[in-house]
């Protein structure tokens, strides 16, 4: 009942509230890009959505150019945005569009789709999330195998209690301002 009817309602309600509360922050970040003439402001990338359908994910751009290495191309505001996860804010638009949920398995790159086992594909039975069970249990510091284990646990045990738990743990992690290491994460190469 929660998954079919109430989860989407909660996503829409919380997202609209967050957009109203954080609109000043969106504007401030946007102005930082405009003042320094750093364009584009938004980074767009195709990711895997619900039922394996691709969608365009939005983030604030944190690298200078896609053809540079992660270290060479860091945007001057990039570290702050990544460490605070503020670069993820535009994904609230993805939630409004119905492509994402606030909580769910993180959407992965489209190029990974043929590499998943049948069991791993079950993570696509739900909308991907801005945060998820794997993110609050290690994020990039855990193996791909462990991430999939957490993602599948979420898919099989989805409930409003678990979503609330993940959201609270996410807020705690955001406030800790831990260094983001997602740029150093190894690519998923499929099952060995």
**Which of the residue ranges 131-135, 138-142, 172-176, 185-189 has the most confident prediction, judged by mean pLDDT?**
131-135
Residue pair 110/46 in contact by the 8 Å Cβ criterion: yes
As for how many domains the chain has, the answer is: 1
| Cis ω before 40 (30° cut-off from 0) | yes
CA-angle at 22, arms to 24 and 2, nearest 5°: 160
The model's confidence at residue 183, banded by pLDDT at 50, 70 and 90, is low
Find tokens 């609230």 and name the residue.
92
User: Is 182 a domain residue?
Assistant: no
- Name the CA radius of gyration of the chain, rounded: 16
CB 38 within 8 A of CB 30: no
Closest to 121 in 3D by CA, of 19, 48, 60: 48
**pTM of the predicted structure, to 2 decimals:** 0.88
User: Average model confidence (pLDDT) for the chain?
Assistant: 88
Inform me whether the pLDDT recorded for 181 exceeds 80. Answer: no
Please report which residue ranges of 107-159 form alpha helices under DSSP H: 144-157
Quote the Cα angle for 144-145-146, to 5°: 90
- Distance of alpha carbon 124 from alpha carbon 120, whole angstroms: 8
pLDDT in tens, 38-93: 788 899 999 999 999 999 999 998 876 554 444 444 566 777 888 888 999 999 99
Least confident piece of the model among 67-76, 99-108, 143-152, 156-165 = 67-76
Per-residue pLDDT tens digits for 103-120: 999 999 999 999 999 999
Q: Which residue would you say has higher pLDDT here, 181 or 187?
A: 187
Q: What is the residue-wise DSSP string for 175-192?
A: HHTPPP-GGGPPPP----
Q: What pLDDT is attached to residue 175?
A: 82
Measured distance CA(128)–CA(145) in Å, rounded: 18
Is residue 38 one of the residues assigned to a domain? Answer: yes
Q: What angle do CA 120, 137, 104 make, to 5 degrees?
A: 50
Does residue 158 belong to any structural domain of this protein? Answer: yes
The boundaries of the domain holding residue 54 are 2-177
Check residue 72 and give its pLDDT.
44
């Amino acid at each position: 009942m929660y998954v079919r009817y109430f989860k989407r309602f909660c996503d829409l309600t919380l997202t609209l509230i967050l957009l109203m509360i954080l609109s000043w922050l969106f504007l401030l970040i946007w102005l930082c890009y405009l003042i320094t003439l750093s364009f584009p402001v938004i980074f767009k990338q195709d990711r895997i959505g619900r039922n394996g359908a691709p969608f365009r994910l939005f983030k604030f751009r944190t690298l200078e150019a896609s053809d540079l290495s992660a270290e060479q191309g860091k945007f001057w505001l990039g570290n702050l945005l990544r460490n605070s996860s503020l670069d993820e804010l535009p994904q609230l638009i993805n939630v409004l569009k119905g492509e994402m949920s606030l909580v769910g398995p993180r959407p992965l790159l489209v190029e990974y789709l043929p590499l998943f086992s049948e069991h791993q594909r079950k993570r696509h039975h739900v909308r991907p999330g801005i945060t998820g069970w794997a993110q609050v249990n290690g994020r990039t510091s855990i193996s791909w195998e462990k991430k999939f284990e957490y993602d599948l646990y979420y898919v099989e045990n989805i409930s409003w209690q678990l979503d609330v738990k993940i959201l609270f743990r996410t807020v705690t992690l955001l406030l800790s301002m831990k260094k983001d290491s997602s740029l150093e994460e190894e690519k998923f190469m499929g099952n060995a």
